[in-house]
Every structure is written in C-alpha cells, then in structure tokens.
Amino acid sequence: MLLTFAIVAGLAIASPAMVRIPAGSYRPLYSAAGEPKVRVAAFALDRDVVTRGEFLRFVTRQPAWRRGAVRAVFADASYLRDWPGALEAGPREALAQPVRNVSWFAAKAYCSAQGKRLPTADEWEYAASASATRRDASRDAGFRAHLLALYASRHAAAPLPRRAETNAYGVRGLHDLGWEWTLDFNSVVVPDDSRAAGSGADARDRHLYCASAAIGASDPTDYPAFMRYAVRAGLTARTTLDGLGFRCAATQVT
Amino acid sequence: MTTSSATLSRRPSLRAALPVLLSIGALLASATLSGCAGNADAAAVRRAELALRTPPETVEGQEVAVLTDAPNVPPAITRSHPTKVIVNLEVIEKSMRLADSVQYTMWTFGGSVPGKFIRVREGDLVELHLKNAANSTMPHNIDLHAVTGPGGGAKTSLTLPGGESVFTFTALNPGLFIYHCATSPVPMHMANGMYGMILVEPKEGLAKVDKEFYVMQSEFYTKGKFGDHGLQTLDMDKGIDERPTYVVFNGSVGAITGDKALQAKTGDRIRIFVGDAGPNLTSSFHVIGEVFDNVYAEGGTVASQHNVATTLIPAGGAAVVEFAAENAGDLILVDHSIFRAFNKGALGMLHVTGTPNAKIFAATKGLGISAE
C-alpha cells in the first residue's frame, strides 16, 4: 500500500486521490424552519469509494480485520461475505469494485490506517448535494429526479455502472455505487415508524424530536435524502450490507 | 337471491354496531364496559358503549399461517379457540411485470404485489416475523392496520437487508385490514408495491361461501407514459400531484383478466376481499353486470348495506363484497372512476361458467342478434 499523503499529527494532507471540498453550508434534511444552515468546514474526501483490492491490502496487513478473524462485536456474520476467502477478494476484475459488507468499525479502522477518517454525515451530504455541474444542486428538481432514478435502479443484483458519475467537486460515484458509511451515521435518525413524531429507538439528539419523517423535514419532497437517512437509521456499527461501502475523508491542514 | 342470509358475522354484533358520537367527556367517563343504566346523571353523561378489549386468558397451541398470493385467499379458520399464529413475511425487491413489455422494480411483501394475504382469528396471538432479503437496497418495516400498538408494528420492525424483526400482537378487532410498509419515505415504499391484507375473522367465523377472492387496487407512478416499454421507475412528482400512470388490480395490468380471470360457476356464492392500497386514490369499486348482495363497508364486520352496485373504498382501507353468480358470463371488475379502468388498467374479470338463464337476462333484438 502506498501512502500518498503525509500524516501530520493525525491530520492528513489531501493526496491526489482526494478532492478538496471548500467550506460552505448546507441544509440538512432535518432542520427547523428559520434554523441557519449547517456550516461545513473545508475537508478532503476520497475521490472514489474504497475498492475490494484496497481493502484486501488492508486486511493483509491487519489480520484482525480478516473475515473469520474479526471479533463479533466489530462486525456481524455477513462481514465480507462476498469474498471467496479471508485473503481472496475475488477475481481480478472484482478488485476494482467497491468493497461491500464492511462494518462501521472496519471502515473506521481502514480510514484510520490511512491517516484518514470517515466523513461526517454533514460532510457527506454537503459533498453529495453537488450535481455534475452545480455544487449546490439541493433545489434542483432534475438532479433530485436523477438521484431517485439512480437509487431505484440500484438493485443489489444489478451490475455497477461502467463509469461512476463525477460531481461538480470531482468526487466520483457518491450516489451511483451504493450507500456509504458516515462517521456519525446514527446521530440523526428517522424514527422506525417514519410518520410518528420523533421517538425512534435510537433517539440520541435534539434532531430526533422533530424528526417525524415529513414533519420536521426541511424539504418533504427530497425523497433521495429520506432514503439515505432511513438506511442510516437502520444501521448499527457492526452492520454489514451488500449495498453498503465507504470512502474516507481528511481534515485538511493546508 | 341465494345469499340473502349470508352475513359476514353470524353474531348480532352489539359492539361493532355502535357507531357512537364520542364527546371527549363521554370518553373520559366510560373507561369500563358498563352502560349508563341506573345512573342518576345518565342524561348528563351518556357513556359510550365501547368494549375495552382484552386478550384471551390463554391461547391454545401454535400454527404457522398459510399465506397466499392474490387472487387466492387462505382457507377459512375452523378453530373455535384462539391460538398462536406465526406469520413469516419476507420483503423481496425485484423487477416485475407492470404491463406487457413494462417492468418496474417492485418492493414486495413475499415476492408479489399485492403482498401475502394473512388470515387469523379474533383473539389470536400473532407472532410476526418480518425478514428483509439480503439483496434488498432499503430497510423496510410493516404497519398492519389490525394491530393495536405503536405504528401498527412499524415502530419496532425496521429491518435491514439480511435482517429480521419479530413482534407479537393480539388481534383484538375483527375485520379486514390492509398492511403496508411505513419506512421513510412512506409514499415511495407504498408506490413501489409494499402492501397487502390481513383478515381477522370474528370469533364466530364467516358464513360459508363457495369462492373467496383477494383483489387489491393500487396505483403506480412511472416516468414513462402508460404502456411505455422497458424498466420504469417512480416519478415522484406524479405521485405528489396524485396523477397515476397506472391504476391496477393485483399489481399489474391484466393480472386478473383473460387466462388469469377469476373463475366461478353459476350458483356460486362469492366473497371478494377488496383492498385499496392507494397510495392516493379512493376506489369506486364496481362489478359490471352484477349487484352486491352484501357490502361490509370499510372492511368492518357488519353488512352495512345490501343491493349495492358501486361501493367506495378509502385509500388504506378495504371492503368485503358478497354476491351470488346468478348467471353465466363475464363480470368485469372496475374502479368506476372510469378513465382509470379504460386508460390506466383498473380492470379485472370474473368468468362465470354455466348455463345462461334467459329469464334473468335475454337479448331479443339488436346488433349481433341473429334472426331465427
């Protein structure tokens, strides 16, 4: 594994494989009327999702994260279940595919090993609100319809697109390759019964109490966002899913 | 009429026949079953006669529910006691036929749209196992309108791909209910096919009929126009505007027409469990060429009306209709909001075989009638 970035006191300088995302603000799905947008500091985000090949190199060096060796508290039983073996990630062409069936713990450990971290949900959503041409496409009905179609066609059995979509920041495949882990995936959750006023089993912060799926949503027509939030709401840190991968982020020092 | 005595519930249903106007005060004053007889202040405080339903003291035995795909209905319950019923439902997301040459990625309860029909008995303890197939893209849950409990079960049944949730409930109220997924965004999960029905038979059971059918109306909102070929996806704007591309019975255009028509013979007493999943539209349900002898409006347990041609079914609701097949021929099921039937797919067929009875109907002159 090549380390393509310098590690300085735990902060990584963006490598060429990372994209610098400038500071800005965005409106999360759940925010009260009149509440200011959420500020997002500048950060760097992996241009691409982590691949099987990259994850194979990681587990090669860190046996504790191999399938069959990982502790049960850190990953459920389907961890890396699509791999033929603990150190076999599939045929050559599979190595370039996004790694799936990794738990939050494993994703976090991977990023940490690269001197990076997982993006926060705010960072991820902020970067992911860019269309191919506009950095803030959050109010772009066409972009939203496009995402909905992407998600709808994203059946787990469906082949991945030949080329991932690149957004206005230069980040690739945020929406078309699968769901992605975020550092704080369960800090803002949709209640399990998404119509009830905020009493989700994982209620942990103030957002929950205005988090009825529609009431309290800044934009009840943002179905793609509802879908992402609903997926996150169901996750635990040891969950692994066929359709869930990740990429890493870094807090820039330059 | 051969079915004039057939009623859904053989019990003179006191509690179900009490559509009471409830004032808040009446509610507060009536936490018990007792009526207001002997109450000196009866005129001032009229107690609502509402049964406080309690689960049975004991349930005997255990069984696994027989689940069926539309238009089939599980067999009638012959038990005369409550039992524990295990219901196994698996959510499966898959591309399915919406119309000829039109596919849609349906989200299903049990692999078909509408979802599996569940049949239990009033007082049964239902243990519902909701699985979500490992290759699903979304988490899902279930809200059964028959459930007295948080979210109809939805609150505790969010299930990830590859996961399983289990909850139990006592079927307190008899009736015909729909169930559906309530995961955010709810309209999308319902627009993609996540609904079905659960029948809670009253303790006394249902009157015997010769044929029972399961028919559920629903809408699909597609990017393409009606009939546009290929894999279609949800058009959210059409959904919000309540402009469906398709209105269908049993999940697709032609699901119960032609070779797949419902089948009966003359003399059959017929009961149809009709649901309306919406997600938006109410149904003006009608069977062309027939009159309903009994209608149990809104899925309730009392025949609310007799001799009805068209009955209104709310979105998220149901109705039970009963009639006898007096004559041979094809009966046509429609939503009588008739553009839906003609242009959007809301058509079904019940083929009745037998000898035509000219006393009931005879054409004597007109186009297509050959002179003897």
Of B135, B154, B237, the CB nearest to A193: B154
**A229 neighbors A179 (Cβ within 8 angstroms):** no
What one-character DSSP code corresponds to residue A50?
P
10 Å CB burial of residue A80 (0-12, 13-18, 19+) is: buried
**A127 neighbors A171 (Cβ within 8 angstroms):** yes
**A113 neighbors A247 (Cβ within 8 angstroms):** no
Taking only the tens of pLDDT, chain A with its 254 residues reads 333 444 433 344 445 599 999 999 998 887 766 778 899 999 999 999 999 999 999 999 999 999 999 999 999 999 999 999 999 999 998 999 999 999 999 999 999 999 999 999 999 999 999 999 999 998 899 999 999 988 887 765 556 666 788 999 999 999 988 899 999 887 544 444 555 433 333 333 333 222 346 666 778 888 999 899 888 888 999 999 999 999 999 997 44
What one-character DSSP code corresponds to residue B153?
G
A253: its two tokens: 């020092």
Residue B370 has pLDDT above 90, yes or no: no
Residue B44 has pLDDT above 80, yes or no: no
- Note whether A134 contacts B: Cβ–Cβ < 8 A: no
Q: What is the end-to-end Cα distance of chain A in Å, rounded?
A: 24
Give B286's pLDDT tier (boundaries 50, 70, 90).
very high
**Contacts of B18 by beta carbon, 8 Å cutoff, 6+ apart:** B48, B49, B50
Cα(B325)–Cα(B352) distance, rounded to whole angstroms?
7
Distance from CA of A39 to the nearest CA of B (A): 26
Check CB contact under 8 Å for B160 and A241: yes
Q: What is the pTM for the complete model shown? A: 0.85
Cα(A145)–Cα(A222) distance, rounded to whole angstroms?
9
List strand residue ranges (DSSP E) for B187-260, in order.
Answer: 195-201, 211-220, 230-232, 246-249
Q: Which residue is listed with tokens 């297509």?
A: B368
Cα(B23)–Cα(A122) distance, rounded to whole angstroms?
47
Neighbours of A138 (CB within 10 A): 20
Count contacts between A and B (CB, < 8 Å). Answer: 109
Check CB contact under 8 Å for A242 and B162: yes
Q: Using a pLDDT cut of 90, give the percent of chain B over it.
A: 83
Check CB contact under 8 Å for B185 and A243: no
- Note whether A221 contacts B: Cβ–Cβ < 8 A: yes
Spell out which residues of chain B touch residue A242, defining contact as CB-CB under 8 Å: 134-135, 161-162
Cα(B68)–Cα(B212) distance, rounded to whole angstroms?
12
| A contact test, residue of B136, B184, B242 with most A CBs within 10 A | B184
Q: Which residue of A has its CA nearest to B151?
A: A193
Residue B313 has pLDDT above 60, yes or no: yes
Which stretch of DSSP H or E encloses residue B240?
helix B236-240
Check CB contact under 8 Å for B137 and A233: no
| A contact test, residue of B137, B144, B236 with most A CBs within 10 A | B137
Q: How far is CA A208 from CA A180, A212, A213, B190, B200, in A?
A: 21, 8, 10, 24, 35
Cα(A123)–Cα(A98) distance, rounded to whole angstroms?
20
**A116 neighbors A54 (Cβ within 8 angstroms):** no
**B369 neighbors B363 (Cβ within 8 angstroms):** yes
**Contacts of A91 by beta carbon, 8 Å cutoff, 6+ apart:** none
Residue B84 has pLDDT above 50, yes or no: yes
- Note whether B231 contacts A: Cβ–Cβ < 8 A: yes
Cα(A152)–Cα(A174) distance, rounded to whole angstroms?
15
Cα(B192)–Cα(A100) distance, rounded to whole angstroms?
25
